[in-house]
Amino acid sequence: MKLRATLRRAAQWLFILATRIALRLLHASWRVIPHGYPLPSQAAVFVLWHGELQMLLPLRPPKLLILASASRDGRRMAALLRSMGHRCVLGSSSRGGLVAARQLLRHLKGGGAVAITLDGPRGPRHRAKAGALTLARLSHCPIVPLRACANRAWTFRRAWDQHQLPMPLARVHLASGEPWHPHATTTTTDLEERMTATADLLPTAAARR
């Protein structure tokens, strides 16, 4: 049993190492083109769609903490993100959510930034959940919508999020929306509309599919 567990951990480590190297090479080949508003240097809640996560990894706001799912797949993604130099906290609505929310709130109040996939970890696709609104209200930090698209990308159509991964040498367009403070009556529908408005900053309609 101990040998099997050791082999499993070794296989996971090798997988993460190989994936990290492949993604670093892939990211280095992209031509990243920014659009929209400058990224704020102060504390902010960055929000994105789950299917555009890979395209947005080249963005590195200072003191960024990323929320990842506490599921097995989420833990693997967090391990990969950490291996690439990102900081992560694990939590979701069904597991560890309250603890993660406290960590994110403490990080925001300390002047850091956080990133949340609005429709993660299980969808529905492009349907926002309210967690980002709650964090922004409690921390008094602005929400910054992020969108992305590429001129050439693989789309994983069997995945619930229609995940997109730009091909080597692709042009990747990254849009940062206008920072805004939600008020007490702001809804997730308002948040989705902000995401659509940020997609309008991109030179193509690909991100709105």
What is the rounded distance in angstroms from the CA atom of residue 113 to the CA atom of residue 99? Answer: 17
Residue given tokens 């990102």 in the structure block: 86
Domain tally, the chain: 1
Average the pLDDT over 41-62 and give the result: 90
* pLDDT at position 73 over 80: no
Confidence of residue 205 (pLDDT cuts 50, 70, 90): very low
113-131, pLDDT tens digit by residue? 999 999 988 889 999 999 9
Asked if 155 and 164 touch (Cβ cutoff 8 Å), the reply is yes
Tell if the pTM clears 0.85, that is, is over it.
Answer: yes
Average pLDDT over residues 71-82: 81
- Containing domain of residue 128, as a range? 2-208
pLDDT higher than 60, residue 36: yes
Average pLDDT over the chain, rounded to an integer: 89
pLDDT score recorded for residue 1: 63
Predicted confidence at residue 8, as pLDDT, reads: 81
Q: Which residue did the predictor score with more confidence, 173 or 77?
A: 173
SS3 category, 177: coil
